[in-house]
Amino acid sequence: MSALRILVPIKRVIDYAVKPRVNKAQTAVETAGVKHSMNPFDELSVEESVRIREKKRAPGGVEDICAISAGPAKAQDILRTAMAMGADRGIHVEVKEGDDLEPLTVAKLLKKAAEEQKSNLVILGKQSIDDDAAQTGQMLAGLLGWPQATQASKVEFGEGDSVTVTKEVDGGVETIRARLPMVITTDLRLNEPRYASLPNIMKAKKKKLEKKTLQDFGLENEKRLKVLKVTEPAPREGGGKVEDVDGLISKLKELGAL
Amino acid sequence: MLTLARRAALSQRGTSSWISSIATSSAIHMSRLLSTLAILEQRDGQLSQGSLNAFTAAKKLGGTVHGFVAGANVSAAAEEAAKVDGIDRIIKVENRIYEKGLPEIFAPLLVENIKKGSYTHVIGGHTAFGKNLLPRVAALLDCQQVSDVTAIEDEKTFVRPIYAGNAIATVESSDSIKVITIRGTAFAPATPDSCSAEIVEGVDPKADTSAEWVSEDLAKSDRPDLATASKVVSGGRGLKSKEEFDKVMLPLANALGAAVGASRAAVDSGYADNSLQVGQTGKVVAPQLYMAVGISGAIQHLAGMKDSKVIAAINKDADAPIFQVADVGLVGDLFEKVPELTQKVKSS
């Protein structure tokens, strides 16, 4: 089996525990001064890559784990986190603050990066928790012409570059098999990401972090979707509390739900 | 046909911008005015009723609507879909290689059929099948897909939730082919009627791939399907164990004729199967009644259920955030209250 050269795309997003607020102009969600972190699904991708190496799960071994992120200067923080978790190096594609890329552009960027880095496995999160698009991995697989396994909850490597992936689907799980090179997107059940230890955080500072721009990949930030407005969802008012089960039943009947 | 399409579109929208866009469009543009391909899902030759909401969304756009279905044995499914009112054509491709919907071969199949039909819009469900397949299709067509659409404003303007439903974005697409996935609960499924659209064979490029389907393990249940049920009872961490979850929640579900859901905490602790998870990373539901039992109401959970018509909550913590969205809340020990509720619902 070929040695794995894993590319792990990661994204800096508003921390999952923060309740996002729409800005006054209703053009976007307020991001200034808001805590950001690595997209939770991307932590799973980094963790899985590191575990494949640590547990020697791939017969051909793991030659390289490269984390890549396109975003503002602060995206370097999450690249350092990925390296502290065990990624060997990072690539930062600098994009102006607020100049977000659409999934198709990211997929085009990652296609070029995967080719340049001679990657044979790309592990992405199944979706980012900001845009909730759930597209980049599939688009990348399509552009590369590689097989894809989305919403993975288990990844196993076999002989002859074969990879068997258990995927979460509506109503249960599905197992597919394909050969490297391929694209996998992670689901929550895949693993539990580790916390980076202080010594590893220190070590990560010495790992290589390459800086690039979109132009280095021959791309521009082309926008196909124009955001006309962003609004708060219609507020939902709690209807108050009842004293007992009988009160619950009669209220539900009154609301026509029973 | 064109006149019909135009009239349908006008009656849907009736805006002056539409008329002016007709006036300025070239003859070439006219020839490909609004035609939508709705991607239908099937399993073992059975049409997934849930996928018929793609027709509902397609009809909102106006223009001609065609349906697409592919698999090992899809004639019956194609015939059923052809009965839906307002559908002009069902394209079917009968080949067992498409049965499991492997995107590596299904995407090229769709791309060929989309190009052949010169569709302006492609609509599928934001389901495991649609999410896996359509972004790949969009990339092959060099289009930026619009995911999980909850409303269609006009042929290029779509509304979709972002940030786990904490914000609603309205976006305008400039792509020549609009590939969108729709949120099932936002568009009622079309019901097969007595119409009969023509059924034609689609092109079959028979693409090659190293990917193969190995097996599946689907949770068996006699209860209504979670995604489409009119009532859902959902349990959280408060249930404490799988045994208690089954003992408390299942009788309540049976008494109400409801589907069973769960919070991520309950799923992660092994109380309930993964496929029952409601939330940002699980299923998005919008039933008539959603009853949250022992669920605190984290934003990721609310993302999956806050469009429910009526929300009821039973929780012992009076300050749990779930009470801020619940239409009716009961503070109390679920191990006491739920069995009592089950009894009273049964005997009423």
- How far apart are the C-alpha atoms of B280 and A32, rounded to whole Å? 24
Backbone angles phi and psi of A221, in degrees to 5: -80, 85
pLDDT-derived band at B280 (thresholds 50, 70, 90) equals confident
| Strand partners of residue B234 | B261, B292
Identify any residues that bridge with B36 across adjacent strands, giving them in sequence order: B65, B121
As a whole number of angstroms, the distance between CA B87 and CA B64 comes to 7
pLDDT one-digit tens code per residue, B160-185:
999 988 999 999 999 999 999 999 88
| Residues facing residue B293 across a β-bridge | B235, B314
In order of A204, B144, B146, B245, B318, the CA distances from B162 in angstroms are 33, 16, 11, 32, 29
Q: Are strands B289-293 and B310-315 parallel, antiparallel or unpaired?
A: parallel
Greatest distance between any 2 Cα atoms in chain B: 70
Strand-pair category, B259-262 with B178-182: unpaired
Task: Report the 10 Å Cβ neighbour count for A243.
Answer: 10
> Above 90 in pLDDT, residue B312?
yes
Q: Residues B3-25: pLDDT tens digits?
A: 444 444 444 444 444 444 444 44
**Chain B, 22-51: which have a CB under 8 Å from a chain A CB?**
none
For residues B25, B29, B30, B35, the Cα torsion angle rounded to the nearest 10 degrees is: -130
Band (pLDDT 50/70/90 cuts) for residue B345 is very high
What is the predicted pLDDT for the residue at A53?
98
Question: A224: which chain B residues are within 8 Å (Cβ-Cβ)?
Answer: 143-144, 173-175
Contact between A252 and A239 (Cβ < 8 Å): no
pLDDT at B123: 98
Residue B324 has pLDDT above 60, yes or no: yes
C-alpha gyration radius of chain A: 21
Hey, CA dihedral for A88, A94, A98, A103, is it positive or negative?
Answer: negative
Q: Around Cβ A210, how many Cβ atoms within 10 Å?
A: 13
Residue pLDDT, tens place only, A14-38: 998 898 999 999 999 999 999 999 9
**B227, A170: Cβ pair inside 8 Å?**
yes
pLDDT score, position B228: 80
How big is chain B by its Cα radius of gyration, in Å? Answer: 22
Q: What is the pLDDT of residues B252-265, one digit of tens each?
A: 999 999 999 999 99
Residue of A nearest to B283 (CA): A170
pLDDT tens for A59-74 read 999 999 999 999 999 9
The SS3 call for residue A73 is coil
Give the DSSP per-residue string, B40-96.
P-EETTEE-GGGGHHHHHHHHH-SEEEEEEEESS-HHHHHHHHTBTT--EEEEEE-G
Q: What confidence score (pLDDT) does residue A75 get? A: 97
Is the CB of residue B84 less than 8 Å from the CB of residue B183? no
Q: Nearest C-alpha of chain B: how many angstroms from A203?
A: 32
Q: Residue B90 has which token pair?
A: 């069902």
Chain A, residues 72-101, CB within 8 A of chain B, namely none
What is the pLDDT, as a whole number, of residue B102? 98
Measured in angstroms, the CA of B293 and the nearest CA of chain A are apart by 13
Hey, of A144, A156, A176, which one would you mutate to test binding to chain B, going by the most B CBs within 10 A of its CB? A176
Task: Provide the pLDDT for residue A28.
Answer: 95
Tokens of B184: 């099932």
Which pLDDT score, from 0 to 100, does residue B232 have?
Answer: 97
pLDDT at B305 > cutoff 90: yes
Asked if omega into A181 is within 30° of 0 (cis), the reply is yes
Q: Do A226 and B215 touch (CB under 8 A)?
A: no
CA dist B157 and B150 (Å) reads: 11
Q: What is the pLDDT of residues A104-150, one digit of tens each?
A: 999 999 999 999 999 999 999 999 999 999 999 999 999 999 999 99
Distances (CA, A) of B275 to A113, B34, B225, B284, B323: 34, 37, 11, 12, 25
